Amino acid sequence: MKILFFGPNGSGKGTQGAIVKDKFGIPHIETGVIFRENISKGTSLGNEAKGYIDRGELVPDSITIPMILDRLKQDDCKRGWLLDGFPRNLTQASELAKALKEEGIDIDIVIEIVLDRKTAKERIMGRRLCVNDNNHPNNIYIDAIKPDGDKCRVCGGDLKTRSDDQDAEAIDQRHSIYYDEKSGTMAGVIFFKDMSAKNGGIPRIIDLDGRPGVKDVSAELMSKLG
C-alpha cells in the first residue's frame, strides 16, 4: 500500500498517520522527522537543513527530493509506505510521480486533512513532542490528547516543544507554503487529484474534515479506508 498524506501543519496529520501506518504495517516516512534526526545528530544534512527549518522555509528541492527517493528504495519500503510531509510543492509532486512511473509504481491512496489556517495555527502552538516516541501525540489545547501534567500521556516520558512551533512568523511562513495552490503544497494536492480524475480513480482520494476531535477524525479515516 502506497499512501500520500497531506494536511497543513497542525491538522493532526502526524497523529492520523500513525494510525494508518499501524493499519497497513508500512513505514511512516516523515520528511520533517528525518531532518530533525539529522539536526540532533549534527550530520551535514542536518546542518544544511537547520536554517531553512528554523525560518519555516522549505529545505531546497535539490536536497529533499533525492533524500526521499533514496529512502523509498530501502528494503522496508518494498511492501509500501506512507509519505507524510512530502511532496510539499508542485516540483516535488511531479518529480515523485515521474520517479514512481519509471519504476511502474502506482500511488494507491492520497489522504488530505482539510483544516482552516487559523485553527491549524492554534493547534501547532499547543503541540508537545514525546522524547521517547514521535508517534505519541500530545497537545495542550486538544482535550483528547492533553498531556498528563507535563509528561507524555502515552508513556509518561518527558515532553519538549519544537522551536519552529513556537515562532508565529515561522508558522505563517509554513502555512503560506501549504495553502499556495499555484506552486505550493496545495498545488501538489491538486496535481494528484487531477491524476486520479484522469486515471479512473487511481490514486483513490480521501478527504477528511480536520475540525472535529482526534477520535472523530480517526473514525472517519478508518471508515473511508474500509
Residues that bind ligand AMP (CB under 6 A): 9, 31-32, 35, 52-53, 56-59, 64, 85-86, 88, 92, 174
CB 195, min distance to ligand AMP, A: 18
Q: How far is the CB of 88 from ligand AMP (least distance, A)?
A: 4
Closer Cβ to ligand AMP, 2 or 88, answer by number: 88
Closer residue to ligand AMP in complex, CB, 131/219: 131
SS3 letters for the chain? CEEEEECCCCCCHHHHHHHHHHHHCCCEEEHHHHHHHHHHHCCHHHHHHHHHHHHCCCCCHHHHHHHHHHHCCCHHHCCCEEEECCCCCHHHHHHHHHHHHHCCCCCCEEEEEECCHHHHHHHHHHEEEECCCCCCCEECCCHHHCCECCECCCCCCEEECCHHHCCHHHHHHHHHHHHCCCCCHHHHHHHHHHHHHHCCCCCEEEEEECCCCHHHHHHHHHHHHC
- The helix-helix angle for 31-41 and 61-71 (nearest 10°) equals 100
Neighbours of 204 (CB within 10 A): 15
Our CB check for ligand AMP shows the closer of 14 and 147 to be: 14
* Residue 12 or 85 having the CB closest to ligand AMP: 85
Min dist. Cβ of residue 76 to ligand AMP (A): 20
Q: Rounded to the nearest whole angstrom, what is the least distance from the CB of residue 29 to ligand AMP in the complex?
A: 10
Are the C-beta atoms of residues 161 and 145 closer than 8 Å to each other? no
Residue nearest to ligand AMP (CB): 32
Cβ 53 to ligand AMP shortest distance, Å: 4
| Minimum distance from residue 8 beta carbon to ligand AMP (Å) | 10
**Measured from the CB atom, is 95 or 220 closer to ligand AMP?**
95
Residue closer to ligand AMP, measured from CB, 12 or 32 = 32
Least gap, CB of 40 to ligand AMP (angstroms): 13
Q: How far is CA 174 from CA 101, 121, 213, in A?
A: 29, 10, 23
Cβ distance to ligand AMP smaller for residue 51 or 213? 51
